[in-house]
Structure 1
């Protein structure tokens, strides 16, 4: 799949891949999505896409910027990751991802332990408690929510996390 948008990327691509920074080009479009409860303006879109692609064992999504005219393209390959294709197992691809895209067991346990001791907390509170940047903590929380270990409540600004009961 190929999703293209006129204009250059407005933040550093690496920051966008980690998440936590939101800089929408079209505020009206964001408001429209918020009215139908789609999108959060939390800067979590690209990390979420990468997590899904990784779990499916597909090749890593790629962001391509071209200039004159400025255009940003997100390439979402539906082909199997080479590690998964060789083994025939999609889970191998998810486990073999780079350390920047996979959650470390220690950090995952730190978050879960904090939420055990503190029944409900924001991403900022969790980040401060375990000594991580908020953007990295949000990425880990997103994966924990996807795994079903943690529940996110409220909208993006007032979002609180708790252990799933």
Structure 2
């Protein structure tokens, strides 16, 4: 029960944030969904790829192929316990056959950036990320995001205790202990 109470505040906060952002995102996405996506210029795609390279975005998905192969292997083993040896032997073969396919993620991300920003905006972003402030942002942002997440988790834990106290107080007024 204590484990659930430790996870509950962060999960509740995450769900709450997701639900509060979803309507705004849906409203923003609606006009774009109605209009067909235009084919970005090769220069825009190149600038988007440069931004992703500068930000080391490939680090996010470098292990996507082996990870998916492993996940699929585990699922197949759970469904076919008698084939465990064979599936363990086949997994490296499948991984080798599909090696490099994670580049499709990078290509897709570049296309998304190129659809979201004009060619000039992308070039300006490249210039920015190469500037001292841009380099500092790239270096410091992961720490800032990590610290922000830690703060949110801490806040959620403390706030969950406050909410629990408020519930208990209100229930005591009704003569019930929770």
Higher strand share: 1
Between 1 and 2, higher relative CO (CA 8 Å, sep ≥ 6) is seen in: 2
Q: Normalising to structure 2: TM-score of the pair?
A: 0.24
Higher helix share: 2
Structure index of larger Rg:
2
